[in-house]
Every structure is written in structure tokens, then in C-alpha cells.
Amino acid sequence: MARSKSSNGQKRSNVQYGEEQVTSGEGGETHQIAEGNIPILTTQQGVPVSDDQNTLRIGARGPAAMEDFHFREKIFHFDHERIPERVVHARGFGAHGFFETYESLSDITSADIFQRAGEKTPAFVRFSTVAGNKGSVDLARDVRGFAVKLYTQQGNWDIVGNNIPVFFIQDPMKFPDVVHAVKEEPDRGFPQAASAHDNFWDFISLMPESMHMIMWVMSDRAIPRSFRFMEGFGVHTFRLVNAAGKSTFVKFHWKPKLGMQSVVWNEAVKINGADADFHRRDLWNSIQMGDFPEWELGLQLFDEEFADKFDFDVLDATKLIPEEQVPIRRVGRLVLDRCVDNFFAETEQVAFCTQNIVPGVDFSNDPLLQGRNFSYLDTQIKRLGGPNFTHIPINAPKCPMHHFQQDGHMAMKNPVGRANYEPNSWGDEGGPRESPQGFHSYPAEEAGAKRRLRSETFADHYSQARQFYISQTAVEQTHIADALVFELSKVERPAIRSRVVAHLLNIHETLAQNVADGLGLKELPKPAQAAKPTRQDLKASPALSILKNSPKSLKGRKIGVLVTDGVDAKLFSAIQEAAENEGAVIEVIAPLIGGVQASDGTWIEAKQKLEGGPSVLYDVVALLVSDDSAAMLAKKAAARDFVADAFAHSKFIGYTPATVALLQKAGIGDSLDKACIALNGAGDASKFVTASRDLRFWDRQTN
């Protein structure tokens, strides 16, 4: 067959690599790019590649050659480089770190991780949303997954929890239903990453046990400002068992060192538009800057006697134990200090299983936990292709492993030697053996008829929902009502809206009335039938409120500084210094990304262009507008939005005298309050930063 050549008979492509141009293709030599000793591109088999720009073909315009192994390998891998995403918690972000034990806990557990004060254990943490797919936004109103993998010397221990201490359901039989209900509706494929639709609220309105969780999901807990500013919970009751076999019940808590903080709903919507990766970027940037996020591990420890006397069943995942009744014992700290090297290899392929516990830790009979122990392993086998997902480095224990498990899909290593079974009589060559020092399940005595039933001790569905609501500040209660109104206003069937309000009447009459008024219900429905009456005697738990536990600090927060040409150099430097002393981060926004020239002739680099850096991205804003630029800035819609949003979201605002024209144009010039602080000179910078420790001026929402 005659062969055709390209027009020059020799070369195929010219590709620019930095400052060096490399020629490749037919007749072109294979060589290493000299600058920086960049290695030669190869196939997965190690074969050097001469042309990565063109497929092998018969003639310049002819058909592709089937023998092009490089193309086939490259496109084959591309076609298969996605694994099935998680059914829930698909959108996640992870980081490496360590857990440091404060003190020996040998009196309550034999878990190796808690035996020696000061010992550091490698850790990997993955945060996630529940409802959306991998491509959804970070600031959806949703539960946040908080999963921690601890690589202990006695195996991997996974604490697979959420940023909310309770859950929607009591029995794992209903897990597929709650997930199906909250996901996009199957006939239309939307809404994405949103619970504001008929299917979800139809399900919830028929499941009274979900009402406690609904209070949490409609609260500010479901729209956290950052992964760094949210709590984590193990949700279920577990056991800790010491060397003598004594059991202590435990609930796990992760307490953020920087305190809790959330955003308001209007702010979340705008953040999603401005930066759909807001939470991911925040965690990545904080670690890269060396501002390592930290949490303390807190334990709620209690015995059988307390469990028997407690007002609710400790095995019910829709209930919590107030911290005022069982105080938190802080036993160690979790520090995230290293970003992943490859998102897919680590964050996407990490496999968490609630069944992964270590000697000294054991399960309770929480039915939802029992179901998760089955489901998680089954899910990982499906998602990661087979039983050998522990061969993936992110999932592999960092302690020695010895077993007879072999073969299977993607087995990276197999046991060596003749024996692949146990018991065997091959002596030292026969492989590993069990040991009395291995894992022992707590020998709890169990008895009863084998039946499908729900314990009567699980029947109170409203009392703790009411307790959560009355534990919130007035501002937080308003946010809950507003969230319910927003969500239910997206529900098309009036009967569903009415059923939800009927449940709310069993929680708090004022809440129900506010939601009914917000929906325009002509009359209140009758309260939903309750298996048990709502208890009115449960006291408020201040620990359940975000605002009652405000950190009163700007540490770890971000100040957005809007500057223009001619900005007062001394004032800008003073705000920088005050922010640094506070532990806050400054980000400069300017009309042009190149930056601005300050009053002393120095150049200030910008991080964001005004149109791409709205105030929703910041905790506090400072408007350093010069006299010469004030009129120009007031004409910009993005500048007016920057100011109006900051004010609407109750943020602290610092402003120079020249900014008044912009404030007037934004419609807030006559509404300035004590959280709007005039910056007349460098001496006002410290006052502004100190005042901003409150993070929000909530009186602005109530006045």
C-alpha cells in the first residue's frame, strides 16, 4: 500500500514548553528537555513517547492506524479515569494531619492510640456534603460529612461522622428512602444538592422521627462558613473497653479550636455563584499558609446506670446527650497540616467504613450503626472495584499487616509461601496466627424474640427538637423559620406544606405560626398525631447554639480590603498590622487585578478584581477609598453590591471619609450603625479590627 507523507515530509508538531520549543513527530528525535531535567514522557509501560500531539495515521489526512499503542493506552485510561462517585457524600475535600493524645486513657480503653500522652498518630480527614454530586457547590444547605481515618499502631480506626450529632432516621431500613427523597427527583433530574423540593418534604412530613434533625438542617449549622469553623460528631453511641474488659459508653465530638461560624442564606447563595469551591479553597489556602486547622477530640463518657436513667434511649441516633448533662472531656487534638498530592488518589479513593475499629473500641446496638457497618463495606467494594481497596495507599494501614487474603480484582500484593489457609501445620513457614492480644468484642448479653419492630424507647420525636429550638438565640430562631419558609415555598403540593407545619406545632407554636405566616397558610392545621407528647421541661442547652459560643476573635478569619489608587498608605499598613496581630488574613480587592498605587507611591498588589471578589467571600470588609477615586467607584455596580451585601449580611465595615459617596449610592448611607466604623487615619485601624471580633452585628437584622 502506498504511504503518504505530511507536507514537509518530516515534522508533525511544534510544542512550546516554557521558553524552549521542542519538535516532535515522524523523523523528529526523542530527547530530554534540558531545562530543569524534565523527564521524557513515556507510556505506562515505560516506552518513550516521541509525539504526544498527533495520532498515528495513514497519510496526512488518512485514517488512523490501529497499531497506535500510545493513543490507545492514553484514550483507554482517559475513558476509565472516573470511578463511580459516592451515592452520598460525593462532593468532598480531604487533607492529611495527625492526632496527638493529651493523656493516657488506659483506665477507660485499651486502644493503643490512647495509651501514651503526647503520641502523634497519622490521620486523614475528608469533609463533604451529603446530597449533591461531585460537581455541586460547597455552600448548599446540607449536612456536612466529617470522616476521620486514624492510622493507629493496631490498625485503621475510622470515625465516620457528620457536623450534626443526630440523624434523620432510626433504622437503616429507611436509609435508601431518605437519600432517594433528598436527591434530585428521578423523573426530572433536579434539583441538584437541594432539599427544597416535594419529594424530600413529602418524606419528612411522613417521618416524625426526622423532626429533630430538621431543626438542625434548617439552622445555621447546615451552612458553615468553613470546614475549619464547624464541629464534628460520631453521631452514634460506641463503647470504650479497657484491658480488664470494663465497658464505658462514649459519644465522639470534634471541637474546632477557632470556634464555630456560619453564613446567612442569602450570603451562601451568592458565595456559590462567586466561588463554588469556597470551602475547598479555604481549607487548601489555610494549610498552604501554615495556618493549620485544629480540632480537639471530646468524649462524652457514661455508664449503663446513666443510660438506663437518661430521658431518651442512647441507642437512638435521632437523639443527643446535652453537654450540660454529660460534660465533654477533651483528650487530644487533630491537626491538618498537609494537602493531598493527588485529589483522585487520596480524597476520591479514600474508603471510610464505620466497621473499622481497633481493640479497645466497640459498637453499641444502635440499629442505624449496625446497618452502616454492613453498608459501608459493601459500598466501597462496589465503588473501588473489588475487595482489594485496602491496597490503595490512602486506605492501607501504616502498621504491619499479615493475613491469608489473596487474589481478586486489582490485587497489588499477595501473601507469599506455601500456606494460604489457617490452621495449617507448616510451623514458622505457615504464616500468621491469631493471638489472645487481638480484638475481642465486648461480651454483652443479648436476648429477645427475633422480630421487626421499633423500641418504644425511640418513640419521642419532638421533645429534643423543641429543646434544640429553645436553645438558639432569637437571631438563630429567625434563621430556622426563614429556612423552613424558603424550603417549603419550593414545595408544589400544599398538603405537604401543611403536614410539615402540623409537625412544627408539636415542637414550638411560635415557630409553627411564623412558618405558616411565611407560607401564607390561611389556617393552622391540627398538630400531627404524636406517639408521645412533647416534653416542656427540658432545659435549654447553650452548647447547641453557634452564637452563644462565638469565639470573639478574628483568628483564622479573612478581611477583605477594597482599595483604590491614592489609598492612604499608613492606614493600609496599620490595618495589615492589626490583622496580623489578631491572626486574621488580609485580601486586597481593587478595580483592576494589577493593583493600585498608594499615597506614598508604593504599589499594592491585588488578589481579586472588584467584579470577582464580592464581599460575601470575607468575614469583615474595609473600604479604603481615596478622594480622587470615590466618584468613579460609586458608579460601579460591583462596588455598590460589595457594600450593600456586607451591610445586609450584618458584617463589620470600616470606611474612609471618601467612601460616603459609595455608601449613599449603595443605599445605606443613612443607615450606618456602630458596626460601621469610620477610618479617619491609621489610629483607627486597631479599633476597627478589635470591634470586628464579634464577626457579625446581628442587631442590624432585628432593628
CB 141 within 8 A of CB 483: yes
Q: Judge whether 89 counts as a catalytic residue.
A: yes
- CA count, 13 A, side-chain hemisphere, 344: 6
661 sits in the region (left: phi over 0; alpha: psi -120 to 50; else beta) called alpha
Please state whether beta strands 620-624 and 558-563 pair in parallel, antiparallel, or not at all (unpaired): parallel
Cα separation, 328 vs 127, whole angstroms: 23
CB 371 within 8 A of CB 172: yes
CB 48 within 8 A of CB 40: yes
Closest CA to 294 of 381, 389, 230: 230
SS3 590: strand
Please state whether beta strands 238-241 and 247-256 pair in parallel, antiparallel, or not at all (unpaired): antiparallel
Looking at the chain, the number of H-run helices and the number of E-run strands are: 18, 20
CB-based contacts of 96: which residues, under 8 Å, 6+ apart? 122, 123, 124, 336, 337, 338, 339, 340, 346
CB 111 within 8 A of CB 361: yes
Structure-block grid coordinates of residue 446: 443479648
Cα separation, 201 vs 487, whole angstroms: 9
CA distances from 205 to 457, 463, 525, 533 (A): 21, 17, 13, 18
Does the N-terminal peptide bond of residue 367 adopt cis geometry, omega within 30 degrees of 0? Answer: no
Count Cβ atoms below 10 Å from residue 459 Cβ, excluding itself.
16
SS3 386: coil
Catalytic residue among 89, 197, 461, 503: 89
Structure-block grid coordinates of residue 274: 462567586
Closest CA to 153 of 328, 399, 403: 399
CB 159 within 8 A of CB 251: no
SS3 129: strand
CB-based contacts of 494: which residues, under 8 Å, 6+ apart? none
CB-based contacts of 614: which residues, under 8 Å, 6+ apart? 270, 274, 638, 641, 642, 645
SS3 117: coil
What is the H or E stretch that residue 632 is in? Answer: helix 630-634
Residue found by looking up cell 412533647 in the block: 534
Query: Residue 88 carries which side chain, given as an amino acid letter?
Result: V
Catalytic residue among 162, 199, 388, 395: 162
Q: Which residues are catalytic?
A: 89, 162
